[in-house]
Amino acid sequence: MANGEGFEKEFVVNMSYFPPNRALMGPGPSDVHPRILAATARPTVGHLDPWFVEFMEDLKGRLRNLFLTRNDVTLPISAPGSAGMECCFSNLVEPEDTVIVCENGVFGSRMRENVERAGGLPCMVKNDWGKPVDPEAVETAVRANPDAKILAFVHAETSTGVESDAKTLCKIAQSHDLLTIVDAVTSLGGIPVNLDEWAADAIYSGSQKCLSAPPGLSPVSFSDAAMEKTKNRKSKVRSWFLDLNLLTGYWQGQGGRSYHHTAPINALYGLHESLVMVEEEGLENSWSRHQKMHGALKAGLEAMGLSLLVEPAHRLPQLNAVKVPDGVDEAAVRKFLLDRYNLEIGAGLGPLAGQIWRIGLMGYSARPERVLLCLAALEDALTSCQAKINKGVATAAAQAVL
């Protein structure tokens, strides 16, 4: 059949796609600030351009300020947070290494998967979903596994909205000469992350959460001890792309930079602009803003008659796990919010599926307009499905906090 005759066309020629303008209040990505979006539209240069090399150095310095660290190897991986996770594990875990892995949600289980794929032996410390990692259970596991090399845990568990005590967990690891791997994907920029104070060895995050940049980059930082282990491995890192011995030749090269990959230039512009904006606001002010928006959302939810899953002492202000009222179809509520208000919130995962909504207040989404929109829209959705809630009081309760 010449010229494709007889085949149905699967696309329309000269048709572009224009996405809806959503209010992103799920577990990520968050709303991208217009200033950051504008930054991504700046002219593209080559990834070895002298101007870009200077830009890379400035970007790394600003990442150190954000992580509160002096670590030389602090850089953005050219892929999302999951690649940052894999970078940490593939570089630090060697075959037959025992790794203590703390699991209190989805991302602890992904850590286990990374250990196994690196050839390591995971020793799991499991905690209930909705609870923080128990330091006493970690201490017990470490003592029971004197050959362990690494302790890995999630600082801010995105699947449940729980913060674990990173400083205490890192201290346990240090007392037993273990390296630490820390997941800070949801925490960085939203709550205190103090890498040098914790003395953590490897940490990874993501651009799309509290930094309000587009998805696709994973800031990481490695201590001297972590880099020493990477450089002195008995076997090659199993991932070529994520091998720090190769990546640092590009990001850390003295004088000339060795080609490794074509960096996502424009995405890095966006990340850089987000870091500039964090510094303009002040890191502590960013933490305070997230906490205040959480307080307003919490006041509105409770006035409505809803409750949060996590105990107050361990709640993440930027990721709120809200219990679904009895008899309510949580998926129908999310669809209502998306269809009528262009508002996205997240569903529960694993054993919490159908039991919670995950409402994100991250980065540019952590502002009064979004809190008030979410409360008004949620009240409308719950009223439409005849849920037993207190009507007409949520936004006033939030405004009292704001």
User: What is the torsion angle, in degrees rounded to the nearest 10, for the CA atoms of residue 30, residue 32, residue 33 and residue 37?
Assistant: 170
What pLDDT does 9 receive?
60
Query: Where exactly are the structural domains of the chain?
Result: 34-279, 283-401
R_g of the chain, CA atoms, integer Å: 22
Backbone angles phi, psi at 306, to 5 degrees: -95, 165
The residues facing 84 across adjacent strands are none
Q: Which amino acid is at 209?
A: K
* Cβ density class 4-31: b for 16+ within 10 Å, e for less: eeeeeeeeeeeeeeeeeeebbbbbbbbb
For 351-385, the pLDDT digits (tens) are: 999 999 999 999 999 999 999 999 999 999 999 99
Query: Which tokens is 318 given?
Result: 């930027």
* Burial of 235 (C-beta count, 10 Å sphere; 0-12/13-18/19+): exposed
Name the CATH superfamily, with its identifier, for domain 283-401: Aspartate Aminotransferase, domain 1 (3.90.1150.10)
pLDDT tens column, 153-206: 999 999 999 999 999 999 999 999 999 999 999 999 999 999 999 999 999 999
Of 341, 344, 297, the closest CA to residue 322 belongs to 297
Each residue of 33-64: pLDDT tens digit? 999 999 999 999 999 999 999 999 999 999 99
Q: Give the type of residue at 219.
A: P
Spell out the residues 6+ positions from residue 276 whose beta carbon is closer than 8 angstroms to its own: 62
Instruction: Report the number of secondary-structure helices (H) and strands (E) in the chain.
Output: 14, 14
pLDDT for residue 5:
58
Sequence-distant (≥ 6) Cβ neighbours of residue 45 within 8 angstroms: 51, 52, 265
**Host H or E run for residue 203:** strand 202-204
Coil, strand or helix: which one is 177?
Answer: coil
**Residue 30 and residue 26: Cα distance in Å, rounded?**
7
What distances in angstroms separate CA 294 from CA 53, 137, 209, one per listed residue? Answer: 39, 30, 15
Helix (H), strand (E) at residue 25:
none
211: number of CA atoms within 13 Å, CB side?
32
In Å, what is the CA distance from 3 to each residue of 6, 7, 9, 381?
9, 9, 12, 51
Residue 308, φ and ψ in degrees, nearest 5: -100, 150
CATH of 34-279, one of 3.40.640.10, 3.40.50.150, 3.50.50.60, 2.160.10.10: 3.40.640.10
Residue type, 385: C
Q: How far apart are CA 161 and CA 106, in angstroms?
A: 11
Q: Is the pLDDT of residue 8 over 90?
A: no
Considering the chain, what is the average pLDDT of its residues?
95
Structure-block tokens of residue 363:
């980065």
Rounded Cα distance, 204 and 188, in Å: 9
Q: Show the tokens assigned to 189.
A: 């920029």
Confidence of residue 1 (pLDDT cuts 50, 70, 90): very low
Q: Where does 203-264 have alpha helices with state H?
A: 224-231, 244-251
User: Binning pLDDT at 50, 70 and 90, where does residue 16 land?
Assistant: confident
User: What are 304-315's pLDDT values in tens digits?
Assistant: 999 999 999 999
Name the DSSP class of 352.
Answer: G
Tokens representing 108?
A: 């602890």
Q: How far is CA 367 from CA 24, 233, 249, 290, 359, in A?
A: 12, 46, 40, 8, 13
Which residue in the block uniquely carries the two structure tokens 């690891």? 173
User: pLDDT at position 252, please?
Assistant: 86
Six token digits for residue 79: 């892929």
Tokens linked to 252: 């850390």
Q: Across residues 146-156, what is the average pLDDT?
A: 98
Q: Is the pLDDT reported for residue 2 higher than 60?
A: no
